Each structure stands twice: as C-alpha cells, then as structure tokens.
Structure 1
Amino acid sequence: MALPKENRLRRRQDFKEVYQSGRRRTGAYFTVRSLKDKFRSPQSRRGATKADPTQAPNLILPTLIGISISQKVSKKAVVRNRIKRQIRAAIRQLLPRISPGLLVVIVVRPTASECVYVEILRELEQLLVEAEVINGHSRGSFL
C-alpha cells in the first residue's frame, strides 16, 4: 500500500530545494532532510505559480515525503523496492504524528540493505524527532 497521494513528494524541484536548504539528520541506515514548505498552494505543486500567503493565511498543507535510494544500496531492484516498501509502511504508521507543512526526503544509506523492519521504524522515528518533523512526546513511541 502506497503513501496517501497528498503526502507524496514527487517534483524534482522540491527534492532539489530540500537538498539545498533542508536540515539534515543522519543515522546508521538513513539520512533525513526536512524543510518548511514556503507558502505553496496544492496547485503550485502541480506546476502553477506560487500562492499568495495573504489570500489563504490559514491553509494547512500536508507534509510531503519522498524516498531516495540509489544503486549503491543494492544493484538489485528487488532489494531496493523492498526497502522502499518497508519505509513507506513505517511512514504510514508515523503519519498521524507528523507535523503539517513540511517537505521531507529520506535518503537510504547502503547499510540499510541488511536491516529489518523494526530497525527501520525505530531509526525513522528517531531521525524524524531529531529533525522536528514529529513531536517526540506525542502519543508515545511505537517501540
């Protein structure tokens, strides 16, 4: 099962923006980069112009999450896709605790090919708390 459509980071420009200006937190298996989304409307993500913040000051944008995994992790697409599925499952579990209005990119490191789902969930939760994407004290930890 995929991430909800409204939570997917897809545009190359958004990835680039997060890489250039985002905050970085690194763990054993992942690097999480996060950036506050700057006054965009949902239409601007589809190629329209930037939204005027005075027109919709109370607009709450969902957090967009993207996953970046290179062939350095594994030459086999089967392995890379399994890791992405596990990351998406962990994100779905953490989604209710994620703050709105952020752009997040999860970069998979080569060591992730050896870890299991519980380690993925634990590290993602820890890195997202450090990056202030989720509040570490809300509703307790999953692990």
Structure 2
Amino acid sequence: MGLPQEHRLKRRQDFQKVYKQGGRYSSPHLIIRTLFEAYLENSIGSQPSCFGISVSQKVSKKAVGRNRLKRLIRKAIRQLLPEIAPGWKVVIVVRAGSLECKYEHFLRELKQLLIKAEIIHGH
C-alpha cells in the first residue's frame, strides 16, 4: 500500500526545488530535505504535505533491496501522517548501509528528523 495520492511528490521539478531551496537534516541512516510551501496558497495549511523517497544504487545494487527500503519508509510515513503539519515538501534519502535496518528503526529516525525540522511538534 502506497502513500495517498495527495501526499506524493512525483515530478522531477519538485524534487529539484526541494534539493536547491530546502533545508537538510541527517541521521545515521536517513537524510531529509524539507521545503515549506504553504505560503504559496492563500490560506496557510490548505496544501497537504508531500513526500518523495530516494534510494540510490549505492545502497543496494538489487532492486528488491531498494524497493523493500522504500516500502518501509512509506509505512513509517503513513503512521506519522496524522502528526505532520500541512504545507511541506519532504524528500527522504536513504543512506548506504541501511539495508539491514528494520521498520522500527526507520520509524524512530524519521520521527526524530521530522521533529528536528519542526514538521512534527515534539514534546
């Protein structure tokens, strides 16, 4: 099961815009690039947050491994979606050496990065 359609970052131009203009936060296995875009709309928060996932061949030469990592990241995003503020564009980059990580590890790291980026309000 993928992300809902309105929460997907699909176009190459969107990815490039986030890479060029967005902030960068990193952890041992993930890097997130974030860009707040709600200011383009008339009312703040009317635009849902969108996510893109990038897994390089440096992580795994086999597509099976890269696709498994993308499924785990999408599952973590779906679980965190109710806590995420609207209006953000986020690209999640998986670092090399992440192939052995489990879902709980990705969930914890992703939540910490989103709190650091102030997309999720921490405690």
TM-score tier after normalising by the smaller chain length? over 0.9
* TM-score, normalization by structure 1: 0.82
1:24-103 equivalences in 2 (<5 Å): 24-37=24-37, 39-40=39-40, 53=41, 56-57=42-43, 60-103=46-89
Distance 1:14 1:2 in 2: 19
2:3 aligned residue: 3
Post-superposition Cα deviations, 1:68-121, rounded to whole Å, max 9, x if no partner, equal 111000000000000000000000000000010010000010121121111111
Partner of 2:112: 126
For the pair shown, which has the larger CA radius of gyration, 1 or 2? 1
Counterpart CA distance in 2 for 1:58 and 1:129 is 20
Percent identity between the aligned chains?
A: 55
Spell out structure 1 runs of 4+ moving beyond 2 A: 56-59
Distance 1:88 1:82 in 2: 10
Consecutive unaligned residues in structure 2, runs of 5 or more: none
What SS is found at the alignment partner of 1:114? coil
- CA–CA separation in structure 1 for the residues paired with 2:44 and 2:86: 12
Which AA in structure 1 matches 2:58?
Answer: K
Residue 90 of structure 2 aligns with which residue? 104
- Cα distance in 2, alignment partners of residues 16 and 106 from structure 1: 13
Distance change in 2, residues 1:98/1:75 (3 Å) = same
Rounded to whole Å, the distance in 2 between the matches of 1:90 and 1:72 is: 22
Equivalent position of 1:13 in the other structure: 13
Aligned to 2:99: 113
- How many matched pairs? 123
Is the 8 Å Cα contact of residues 28 and 111 (structure 1) preserved in structure 2? no
Counterpart contact for 1:90–1:121, Cα < 8 Å: yes
